[in-house]
């Protein structure tokens, strides 16, 4: 057993867990954050993607104790109160989901992708960057549309803020 201390969605949390406990299980079972899903459990499907110290990782392939000391953002940490994060809003607007199981991982991957491409995204890049996330319902079209739309909205938002600041 080890003590695991994390900052999850802005809150400091700690708990005791077996060293073999996976981060995804710690989030779901110890912290009750069940938005992060376990799909394949073999690091292929991406339903478990969360951000660890600002980078998208597969939480089914990391031990909770490995993450101790890190800052984590899960799907529950994106919205600002009742206001959806632009990526969440774009998935809703463009119907980027059907059953919804892969959606938390898709959105966490998308927010990381948009942050890593401040120059903007094109369809080919989005599709290539989604290779670690599997969706069995949508055929990806509306997911790609949603990510492209969110990327534009967020770029405009950033410009607006820069103007305000200036």
Partner 1 sequence: MYSVNYHRASSVADAAKLLKNGDAKLLSGGMTLIPAMKTRLAAPSDLVDVSRLKDLQGVKVSGKTVTIGAATTHYDVSTDEKLKKVCPALAHMASLIGDPAVRHKGTIGGSIANNDPAADYPAALLALGATIITNKREIAADKFFKGLFETALKEGEIVTAVSFTAPAKAAYQKFRNPASRYAIVGVFVSKGKDGVRAAVTGAGEDGVFRSNEVEAALAKSFDAAALDGLKVPAKGLMSDLHASAEYRANLIAVMAKRAVAAANA
What whole-number distance in Å separates Cα of residue 104 and Cα of residue 48? 8
Are the beta carbons of 114 and 152 closer than 8 angstroms? no
What whole-number distance in Å separates Cα of residue 69 and Cα of residue 53? 9
Each residue 94-133 as x (binds partner 1 by CB under 8 A) or -, in order, gives ---------------x--xx--x------------x-xxx
Each residue 131-160 as x (binds partner 1 by CB under 8 A) or -, in order, gives xxx---------------------------
Among residues 89, 90, 23, 95, which one has the least CA distance to residue 53? 23
Number of shown-chain residues binding partner 1 (CB under 8 A): 28
Q: Which pair of structure tokens corresponds to residue 23?
A: 């981060």
What whole-number distance in Å separates Cα of residue 86 and Cα of residue 67? 27
State yes or no: residue 49 binds partner 1 (CB under 8 A): yes
Q: How far is the CB of 68 from partner 1 (least distance, A)?
A: 8
Return residues touching partner 1 (CB under 8 A): 2, 18-20, 22, 41-44, 46, 49, 55-58, 61-63, 65-66, 109, 112-113, 116, 129, 131-133
């Amino acid at each position: 057993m080890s003590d695991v201390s994390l900052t999850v969605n802005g809150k400091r949390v700690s708990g005791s867990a077996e060293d073999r406990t996976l981060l995804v299980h710690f989030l779901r079972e110890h912290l009750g954050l069940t938005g992060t899903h376990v799909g394949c459990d073999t690091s292929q499907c991406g339903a478990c993607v969360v951000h660890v110290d600002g980078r998208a990782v597969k939480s089914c392939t990391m031990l909770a104790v490995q993450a101790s000391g890190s800052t984590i953002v899960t799907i529950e940490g994106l919205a600002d109160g009742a206001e959806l994060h632009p990526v969440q809003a774009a998935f809703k607007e463009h119907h980027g989901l059907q059953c919804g199981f892969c959606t938390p991982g898709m959105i966490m991957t998308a927010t990381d992708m948009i942050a890593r491409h401040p120059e903007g995204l094109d369809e080919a890049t989005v599709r290539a960057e989604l290779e670690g996330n599997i969706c069995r319902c949508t055929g990806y079209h509306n997911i790609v549309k949603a990510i492209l739309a969110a990327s534009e909205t967020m770029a405009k938002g950033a410009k607006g803020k820069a103007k305000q600041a200036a």
